[in-house]
A and B are shown apart, each in its own frame.
Chain A
């Protein structure tokens, strides 16, 4: 306890609320309120309606939601596989090589995602791999971007693994494959699910690389939200944003339930 007097504590808490509520709580509430409105010219929105949600549940918007979900799921699964593989392989390497591998895999975090988009666009607009104009170019870019995060969080967990378990398993005659599948991966499960949630959330909200790459028939939800706000349809855009947030949170909730189950096993 830093502040002992009751008045002082009250003052600090009021300061906290004055900073926290307008900056963090209000923006999310405002988007939620706007998604149910048609006008906002006073303090509060007016013209309550659910028409934006009805529009968000069909046609282009529904397709964008499935596009986003499919992209995020594919990208997360591939990123998790590649990132975990790289983290496990790096852990077995000598120190110098491990550093090189780690540096290579975190590079996409530091490179601006717009540049990742540009690079993927430049590379896959020419033979031998002509992906431009297909959905695969979007999925490839998302995978590159989130693999870095998957690798980072899994390799942090690999370092903390107690080697006694795998040594015990190996000394009892388990093959390297069995050690991996029955000992190391189950021990890593909590961090794997955490990484999966992170990758999914990032991919669902990814806009920068997507704006460089998306073909007309594979428009993820963030692009559609941008298109809506760009043409002035702010209220329809908010409804789409709420759909995006809800979908992300629902998947994260499922993933975190998996995680608590895994950690109690």
Chain B
């Protein structure tokens, strides 16, 4: 039996490592029994169970319990048959896939320039990308409201120049606005692993290819891209999962026409108080996301990331 050492048990002075021949116990910390080690892992797992796993189980349980009572597949039948759910599912999936594709292309191009065509300030840009990651996603939508909103910068410029009463940009409340926001917000998630991978790439390879007559597009295709594939796969699948789960961007867009699965969970539970329905959608959403995230873990482990 071992217990977790509380901080107070170790006296500051006694903590000095005294080499005493009599007390020589090689690898004292390693000789614990297997049961002891498992017991050590128990407290955090218990906390996780109480605050996450059990609540998740309750969601699954509630999804089989319609408001009318009893246990049945009724909520599933109701939700899966509704057009609102099908539309939300389709919107979620295509938005996530399109955003991921956009992030991959944009992230690859930007990381390529930062790593291989360096310019003064490239380091600052790389650091800016890190800062960008620490901001919440809805800030992007808020900013886009000022840039492309009905009275924003782009429309303002248009009306100033042409004298028209209204500007042409009104895609913000459509799925395209969400797509633009998601590509903007999630591209740094692709750039970071790519920049890490590029920093390990031996530039001698590039010089060799170049001195043998390969031009830049060919070097990118045949030397850099193969090296970047694991990072692209890992970053891309992470972004795909994050896009499937994105809520803030869609909520801030405020478009009635754009409903994704997380948005539907929110509106069913909070606005309609239909908990069984919300739980059904939650279960579907979790299955999709966890399945994809499992894939991401396998891919990134294989890539050694």
Asked if A189 lies at the interface with its beta carbon under 8 angstroms from chain B, I say: no
Chain A: minimal CB distance from B40 (Å): 5
Any chain B CB within 8 A of the CB of A258?
no
B-facing mask of A14-28, CB < 8 A → 1, else 0? 011001100111111
CB distance from A244 to the nearest CB of B (A): 7
B160→A82 contact, CB < 8 A: no
Contact string, A107-147, partner B, CB cutoff 8 A, digits 1/0?
11111111110111111100000000000000010011001
Counting chain B residues whose Cβ lies within 8 A of the other chain, the interface size class is 35 or more
- Distance between B43 CB and nearest chain A CB, rounded to angstroms: 7
Nearest-neighbour CB distance to chain A for B238, whole angstroms, equals 9
In the complex, chain A residues whose CB is within 8 Å of the CB of B26: 170-171
- Confirm or deny: B221 has a beta carbon within 8 angstroms of a beta carbon on chain A: no
Nearest Cβ distance between residue B276 and chain A, in whole angstroms?
11
Closest chain-B Cβ to A180's Cβ sits at a distance in Å of: 6
Residue ranges of B at the interface with A (Cβ–Cβ < 8 Å): 2, 4-5, 7, 9-10, 14-15, 17-20, 23-30, 32, 34, 37-38, 40-41, 43-45, 47-48, 51-56, 58-59, 62, 106, 109-110, 112-114, 116-117, 119, 125, 128-129, 131-132, 134-140, 142-147, 151-153, 156-157, 160, 183-184, 187-188, 203, 206, 210, 216, 219-220, 241, 244-245, 247-248, 251-252, 254, 261-262, 265-266, 269-270, 275, 278-279, 282, 285-286, 289-290, 292-294, 297
Given contacts A101-B41, A197-B134, 6 further A-B contacts (CB under 8 A): A13-B119, A92-B41, A104-B45, A173-B24, A238-B146, A248-B135
Report A's interface with B, CB cutoff 8 A: 1-4, 8-9, 12-13, 15-16, 19-20, 23-28, 30-31, 33-34, 40-45, 82-83, 85-86, 89-90, 92-94, 97, 101, 104-116, 118-124, 140, 143-144, 147, 166-167, 169-182, 197-198, 201, 204-208, 211-212, 222, 225-226, 229-230, 234, 237-238, 241, 244-245, 248-249, 252
